[in-house]
């Protein structure tokens, strides 16, 4: 079934706490993310006596005092908005108005705050579809109208992806907006987890499921989109077959994000929310965290962060690490544990991206390398590389030359994804295709040429793999994942400049390494923090770190404005 329409209201944290790490200020301030039907979502209700994964029985719908209070608040909002006619009723969405002539409504699948979801039949061919019918009378304010428009634009942007519920069309009449989608009858991922022995998957089956979720996240991020509510309830199976494809659905909280920006509202479901969401500084990395939580659940049948209350869950998310000692973790492969740990890194900059995670050996086993999508962070790093100083570019090339093939597996996958003719180098046309075709905006040819020329250190008009590595390295990840390896790699890169091994890089050594003519002082000054006329190892490492701090965020599609949540 298609989950019913629902809306989550962001909770509030006092402004004086926004720049803190939050654990000491949690009680009474952290949000209680809401789920469908206006109450805590099914995946976020802790069981007091145990943390085993279970679904609580659904409570019957009733006209509670909470419902009556909500309707009263809605009426007050209408009055404050300056009229008694809901904004939805006054809006022409621009969708076709012939729904009833094309579809026959069937049985009810579910309902939420704004409408109902039905099975419907296409009168032309008899195909069964899912129809989300949204009541215009409940779109009180303009922001509710924008939310509906945005959800449809998101479904259109992701159309054709094999692991996203397919969007067919949108209709409207005087009373409703109709969203016609693919009908998924295989049930929720959560139900399949609960049906498994000990509520857990085998590693092989779990990897298949996780691979599909990561593909969705990678595609979203490439489109400048963050799902923001990744959880088992929001993934449906197309059919009841064991090998049925998994489909992402419910993009009601999803939103586009501008380059370099962060979301400051708190939305989602308690068990799956990332630390940076609670700190009001979240981006696409939060989707990867949520997939890490789901992977943990798939493998052991328990949630990694658990408490009797939602405030307690948030404390666990911010403070503690998942338990990998309790059964069945000792019998789970090292590769699987390594994968989960790299997704549940609390620092979002050090966390794997969705595309990087698809290159991890545990997920990749049995998968096709050609299926790995372009990584938005790799494309961003290439754009950023052209802005770096000459010294920083030289330093990154030196660092790249110290890495071994295993450390470069994900970058190799990205290189192969761009090098479509498998020539071993990236041409201007291939670079243009990577930077433009699969993104929501188009980059002009001169700008693409500028990026290629910045990366192309040997000026042969092509980008080879070594040059590509230098331009796309995730320095912060390298440092955080293995601090000892970072120290040795950065020192080895430093020594490529330090010819006399005295522990410093002088202006003459810089000239020898770079081959540059003219004054070398501007390059030296950039890294020479203490102004002693030379660059120490610590100053060199600082220079490398600044590369990871200046990379941007995912792009935002043109013509789509980010709207606030209710």
Catalytic annotation present for 229: yes
Are the CB atoms for 139 and 148 separated by under 8 Å?
yes
Token reading at 185: 């009858």
Q: Which of 74, 135, 147, 229 is catalytic?
A: 229
Token reading at 511: 């000239």
**DSSP-based three-state secondary structure for 134:** strand
Are the CB atoms for 233 and 190 separated by under 8 Å?
yes
Strands 225-226, 176-182: pairing is unpaired
DSSP state of 406: T
Helix axes 390-400, 483-495, angle to 10 degrees: 120
Phi first, then psi: give them for residue 193, nearest 5 degrees: -60, -45
**DSSP-based three-state secondary structure for 309:** coil
Tracing tokens 């003719």 back to the chain, one arrives at 421
Helix axes 465-472, 376-385, angle to 10 degrees: 90
The dihedral of CA 505, 507, 512, 514: what is its sign? Answer: positive
The residue among 209, 294, 216 whose CA lies nearest residue 248 is 216
* Beta-bridge partner residues of 425: 464
CA–chain centroid gap for 83, Å, is: 39
- Taking the C-alpha atoms of residue 132 and residue 119, their distance in angstroms, rounded to an integer, is 9
* Beta-bridge partner residues of 96: 171
How many other CB atoms sit within 10 Å of the CB of residue 326? 10
- Quote the strand ranges of 227-294, DSSP E: 235-237, 246-248, 255-256
Q: In what order do the strands lie in the sheet with 167-172?
A: 103-111, 115-122, 128-135, 176-182, 167-172
Q: Is 132 annotated as a binding residue?
A: yes
- Taking the C-alpha atoms of residue 32 and residue 267, their distance in angstroms, rounded to an integer, is 9
The residue among 101, 97, 112, 139 whose CA lies nearest residue 1 is 112
How many other CB atoms sit within 10 Å of the CB of residue 438? 15
- Taking the C-alpha atoms of residue 196 and residue 235, their distance in angstroms, rounded to an integer, is 17
Report the binding-site residues for ATP: 132
Report the binding-site residues: 132
Known catalytic residues are: 229
């Amino acid at each position: 079934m298609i989950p019913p329409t629902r809306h989550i209201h962001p909770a509030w944290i006092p402004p004086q706490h926004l720049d803190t790490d939050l654990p000491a200020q949690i009680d009474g301030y952290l949000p209680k993310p809401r789920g469908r039907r206006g109450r805590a979502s099914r995946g976020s209700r802790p069981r007091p006596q145990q943390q085993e994964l279970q679904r609580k029985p659904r409570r019957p719908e009733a006209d509670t005092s909470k419902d009556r209070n909500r309707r009263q608040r809605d009426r007050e909002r209408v009055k404050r908005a300056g009229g008694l006619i809901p904004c939805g009723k006054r809006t022409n969405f621009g969708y076709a108005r012939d729904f009833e002539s094309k579809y026959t409504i069937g049985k009810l699948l579910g309902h939420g705050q704004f409408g109902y979801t039905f099975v419907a039949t296409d009168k032309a061919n008899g195909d069964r579809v899912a129809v989300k019918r949204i009541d215009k009378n409940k779109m009180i304010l303009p922001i509710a109208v924008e939310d509906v428009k945005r959800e449809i634009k998101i479904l259109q942007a992701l159309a054709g992806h094999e692991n996203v519920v397919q969007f067919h069309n949108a209709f409207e009449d005087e009373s409703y907006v109709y969203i016609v989608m693919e009908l998924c009858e295989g049930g929720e991922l959560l139900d399949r987890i609960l049906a498994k022995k000990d509520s857990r998957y085998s590693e092989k089956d779990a990897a298949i499921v996780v691979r599909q979720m990561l593909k969705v996240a990678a595609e979203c991020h490439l489109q400048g989109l963050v799902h923001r509510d990744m959880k088992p309830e929001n993934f449906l199976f197309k059919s009841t077959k064991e090998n049925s494809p998994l489909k992402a659905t419910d993009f009601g909280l999803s939103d586009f994000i501008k380059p370099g920006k962060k979301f400051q509202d708190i939305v989602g479901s308690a068990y799956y929310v990332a630390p940076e969401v609670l700190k009001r500084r979240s981006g696409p990395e939060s989707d990867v965290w949520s997939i890490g939580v789901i992977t943990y659940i798939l493998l052991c049948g328990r949630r990694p962060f658990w408490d009797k209350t939602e405030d307690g869950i948030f404390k666990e998310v911010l403070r503690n690490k998942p338990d990998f000692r309790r059964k069945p973790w000792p019998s789970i492969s090292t590769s699987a544990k390594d994968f989960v740990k790299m997704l549940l890194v609390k620092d979002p900059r050090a966390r794997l991206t969705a595309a990087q995670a698809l290159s991890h050996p545990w997920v990749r086993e049995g998968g096709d390398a050609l299926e790995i999508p372009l990584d938005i962070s790799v494309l961003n790093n290439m754009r950023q590389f052209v802005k770096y100083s000459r010294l920083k570019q030289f330093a990154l090339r030196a660092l790249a030359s110290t890495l071994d093939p295993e450390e470069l597996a994900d970058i190799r996958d990205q290189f192969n994804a761009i090098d479509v003719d498998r020539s071993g180098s990236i041409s201007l046309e291939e670079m243009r295709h990577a930077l433009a075709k699969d993104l929501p905006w188009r980059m002009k040819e001169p700008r693409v040429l500028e990026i290629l020329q910045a990366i192309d250190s040997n000026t042969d008009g092509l980008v080879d793999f070594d040059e590509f590595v230098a331009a796309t390295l995730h320095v912060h990840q390298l440092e955080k994942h293995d601090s000892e390896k970072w120290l040795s790699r950065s020192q080895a890169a430093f020594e490529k400049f330090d010819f006399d091994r005295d522990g410093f890089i002088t202006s003459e050594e810089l000239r020898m390494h770079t081959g540059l003519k003219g004054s070398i002082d501007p390059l030296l000054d950039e890294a020479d923090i203490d102004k002693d006329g030379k660059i120490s190892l610590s100053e060199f490492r600082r220079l490398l770190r600044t590369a990871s701090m200046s990379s941007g965020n995912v792009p935002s599609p043109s013509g789509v404005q980010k709207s606030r949540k209710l």
